[in-house]
Structure 1
Amino acid sequence: MPQLNPAPWLMILLFSWMVFLTMVPPKVLAHNFPNEPTVQDSKTTETSPWTWPWQ
């Protein structure tokens, strides 16, 4: 069975992981958010209890 021979597939696996680990992390780490997060107001909003029509 030729698919059990690890020689070509092991090199393909190692090469693809090498490409993945050298090219993708710098692209991900260089990502910038378009908008900076803003701080919301610290006051709490007043909530009212739900009035169920059948109670």
Structure 2
Amino acid sequence: MPQLNPAPWFAILVFSWLVILLVVVPKTTSHMFPNDPSPQSTQTPKTEPWSWPWA
């Protein structure tokens, strides 16, 4: 049965992983985001209770 012969499929698997690891991964890890998030202030805003008019 030809589908049980692993020789061509194993080579395709190995070459596709080599392409992914050597080409795709460095391209995606070197990507820089244009706006880096700035740190938020650590002060918590002052909140006041809201009186409901119907309560």
Fold conserved between structures, TM > 0.5: yes
Taking the aligned partners of 1:32 and 1:5, their CA distance within structure 2 comes to 43
* Count of residues in Structure 1 that have an aligned counterpart in Structure 2: 53
What's the RMSD between the two structures over aligned residues? 2.2
Distance (whole Å) between structure 1 residues aligned to residue 50 and residue 44 of structure 2: 18
Q: Gapped runs of 5+ residues in structure 1?
A: none
Identity %: 57
Rounded to whole Å, the distance in 2 between the matches of 1:3 and 1:50 is 71
Name the SS of the counterpart of 1:23 in structure 2. Answer: helix
| Alpha-carbon shift at residue 41 of structure 1 (Å) | 1.7
Aligned to 2:12: 12
Determine the structure 1 residue equivalent to 2:28. Answer: 28
Which runs of 4 or more aligned residues in structure 1 lie more than 6 Å from their structure 2 counterparts after TM superposition?
none
Unaligned regions of 5+ residues in structure 2, if any? none
CA spacing shift, 1:41–1:5, aligned 2, 3 Å: same
